[in-house]
Amino acid sequence: MPVRFESTPNPQTFRFSADRVLADRNVEFLTPRDAQLAPLPKKLFGFPWCAGVFVGRDFVTITKQEWVDWDVIAEPLANLIEEHLESGQPVLMAAAPASETSPAASASSTDSTVVQTIKRVLDTEIRPMVAQDGGDVVFASYENNVVYLKMQGACSGCPSSTMTLKMGIETRLKEAVPEIISVESI
């Protein structure tokens, strides 16, 4: 099964898609040390140009250093990921790293009604759309009518992430919860 690649709104990040489930949770790796117990991300961090790896349900997002061009590395990377998957090696190990982002974002019965609504809108409307661009948006907190979110994968460091956050996410969350004053990235 071939691994396809495409650019994302973040020029330093490409999304590599597979026609199979790679992980049951989203996990972000920002350093080689983070990836020590994750076979595929560890392999990717073996290259000096690798600046970050985000594993989603059926895709891997790779962020590169500025000094290398995608036209040089994208196809070989797709082949490397495909070979890894065909070998039967796991993408992630069973133990989840601290940067696990799903399903922890889902609403719980101890959340306030407002937080439950925020998490529901994030999980059902916003996160699936952001995943199409190789990223994720994770609920961090809601304090004094301000929603704090963590941008991950292709969204982290993306030049258009502020516009996505303010024009897209903030607008939709304010529709769902009118008392929200703003949405901020942490």
Q: What is the CATH number of domain 4-86?
A: 3.30.1370.70
- Average pLDDT for residues 7-29, to the nearest whole number? 92
Q: Is the pLDDT of residue 36 over 50?
A: yes
Q: What is the mean pLDDT of the chain?
A: 87
**pLDDT one-digit tens code per residue, 38-95:** 999 999 999 999 999 999 999 999 999 999 999 999 999 999 999 999 999 999 986 5
Level-2 CATH architecture, domain 113-185: 2-Layer Sandwich (3.30)
Question: What is the predicted pLDDT for the residue at 166?
Answer: 75
DSSP code of residue 66: T
Percent of the chain with pLDDT over 70: 89
CA distance 3 to 76: 11
Q: Helices (H) and strands (E) in the chain — how many of each?
A: 6, 8
pTM for the model stands at: 0.78
Please compute the mean of the pLDDT values over residues 11-27 and round it to a whole number.
92
**CA 124, 41, 160, 151 torsion: positive or negative?**
positive
CA distance 133 to 37: 26
pLDDT of residue 165: 73
In 3D, which of 7, 2, 142, 122 has the Cα closest to residue 62? 7
DSSP bridge partners of 142: 147
Residue 160 reports pLDDT greater than 80: no
**Residue boundaries of the structural domains of the chain:** 4-86, 113-185
Q: Are strands 13-17 and 27-29 parallel, antiparallel or unpaired?
A: unpaired
